[in-house]
Amino acid sequence: MKRKLLPVSFLLLLFMGCDSYYMICSLNPFYIERNIVLEPKIEGSWSAHNVWPKDSSQSSLWGCADTASTWNIKRYYSREVIKNKKGADSTTWKPENYYVARFSGSCDSSKYAFKVVLFRVNRSLYADFIPKDKEEMLSSVLSSSSLFEVHTLARVIISGQKIQLSWLGADCMKEMIEKKRVRVNYQWVKETGRFILTASSEELTIMLWRYADQARFIDWENQKAKLELNRIN
Nearest to 23 by CA among 133, 114, 123: 114
Q: Is 162 left (phi over 0), alpha (psi -120 to 50) or beta?
A: beta
| pTM for this model (two decimals) | 0.83
Residues 191, 192, 194, 197: what is their CA dihedral angle, to the nearest 10 degrees? -80
pLDDT tens digits in sequence order for the chain, 233 residues long: 444 444 433 333 333 345 556 789 898 999 999 999 999 999 999 999 988 766 655 556 777 777 888 999 999 999 887 777 777 777 788 999 999 998 887 676 567 788 999 999 999 999 999 887 644 444 455 554 444 578 899 999 999 999 999 999 988 998 898 888 888 888 876 655 678 899 999 999 999 999 999 999 999 998 988 999 999 98
